């Protein structure tokens, strides 16, 4: 049996005002799932776009004839791939954070045809391995691997607004890392077979960029 809760007039007016304010502020919100209070969720909800300059750059680059593929390394919940993915024939996302990857797949299914995208739930690095991924509880997009990270340790915690490294600020997940050289060799061989030769690669790997590119 459900208990009916009746709101007093003051609370009713307050909640109605808050709902209208929220609806007004988020009327341009992206049509995807985002995590409330997460750093990366504010602009997509209020302004309807994530990293506007990067989004425009990817859009223009695709329009100039580089629209065969979009490779999103560090896709998080799919903000870039969902905004720009429809401009490309194929979208390949890399996201090792198991929490974000579930939302990524949901958002991609909302925004893109199922046959046009692929999700790789592992990280890229210099070599194959299994390492701990530190996921800031207030910023899933800031997840990082400490092992062989090119960022100094103080930058890894300061970038997320912490004064010191405290494991309590993170959810830790053991993830797979695959050698980028092998992964890219397979991906580009497949793309060439499909006559997909011109595209865009976006990389945001929280200190692993150099390892991924140079391996």
pLDDT tens-digit readout, 63-88: 999 999 999 999 999 999 999 999 99
Integer Cα distance of 206 and 204 in angstroms: 6
Q: Would you state the structure tokens that stand for residue 171, as one six-digit string?
A: 């959810």
Sheet holding 199-203, edge to edge: 117-120, 90-94, 69-73, 199-203
Pairing of β 90-94 and β 117-120? parallel
First to last CA, the chain: 62
Higher pLDDT, 49 or 85: 85
Integer Cα distance of 92 and 187 in angstroms: 9
pLDDT at 176 over 70: yes
pLDDT at 1 over 60: no
**Strands, DSSP E only, in the chain?**
69-73, 90-94, 117-120, 123-125, 129-136, 144-145, 170-179, 199-203
pLDDT in tens, 88-97: 999 999 999 9
Note the pLDDT of residue 199: 98
Integer Cα distance of 133 and 144 in angstroms: 6
């Amino acid at each position: 049996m459900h208990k009916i809760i009746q709101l007093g007039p003051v609370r009713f007016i307050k909640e109605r005002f808050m709902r209208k304010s929220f609806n007004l502020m988020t009327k341009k919100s992206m049509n995807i799932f985002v995590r409330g209070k997460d750093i990366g969720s504010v602009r997509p909800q209020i302004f309807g776009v994530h990293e506007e300059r990067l989004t425009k750059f990817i859009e223009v680059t695709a329009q100039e004839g580089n629209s065969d593929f979009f490779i999103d390394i560090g896709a998080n919940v799919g903000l870039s791939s969902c905004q720009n993915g429809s401009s490309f024939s194929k979208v390949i996302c890399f996201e090792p954070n198991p929490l974000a990857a579930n939302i990524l797949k949901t958002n991609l299914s909302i925004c893109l045809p199922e046959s046009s995208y692929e999700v790789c739930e592992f990280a890229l690095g210099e070599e194959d391995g299994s390492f701990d991924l530190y996921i800031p509880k207030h910023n899933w997009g800031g997840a990082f691997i400490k092992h062989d990270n090119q960022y100094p340790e103080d930058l890894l915690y300061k970038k997320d607004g912490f004064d010191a490294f405290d494991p309590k600020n993170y959810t830790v997940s053991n993830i797979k890392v695959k050698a980028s050289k092998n992964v890219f060799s397979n991906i580009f061989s497949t793309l060439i077979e499909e006559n997909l030769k011109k595209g865009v690669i976006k990389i945001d790997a929280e200190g692993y960029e150099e390892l991924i590119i140079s391996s």
